[in-house]
Amino acid sequence: MRLQKESKELGTQAESRIQPGVANRKLVFRLIRHEGLSHPRAIYQQRAAAEQTRFGLLVAEKTQAHANVMRARRVAKSTFHQGEMERRRMKEDLEEQLQRHCEVLSF
């Protein structure tokens, strides 16, 4: 008795899950007939092509973003090294001035 009841409930649950899919399929075929829409395979192919296009755009955007990041890193590195070179030059100039000043004072 219990098994029959569970079997009946499972059958009802399965049927309730299947019915919306069947209804959607019927609706799609009705739209195809009445509105002259393409066959579902053609619709799938169009969606797949659109998805492929979107994927290509995303890859291009990712590549461009990476190039921008690398360009920014290069500029930052160059700027840092230029500052280091400038500080080193200024330090050497100050040391030379100090050396000359010390030579002048020692005479």
31 Cβ neighbours under 8 A, 6+ residues apart: 37
Q: Quick one: average pLDDT of 72-84? A: 95
Predicted model pTM: 0.47
Gyration radius of the chain over CA positions: 38
pLDDT value at position 24? 73
Look at residues 14, 40, 47, 16 and name the one whose alpha carbon lies nearest to residue 26: 40
Position with higher pLDDT, 15 vs 53: 53
pLDDT value at position 64? 94
Both tokens of residue 79?
Answer: 């700027």
Q: Where are the domains of the chain?
A: 1-37
pLDDT in tens, 18-71: 667 677 777 777 777 766 656 677 778 888 888 999 999 999 999 999 999 999
Position with higher pLDDT, 103 vs 55: 55
The pLDDT confidence band at residue 79, using thresholds 50, 70 and 90, is: very high
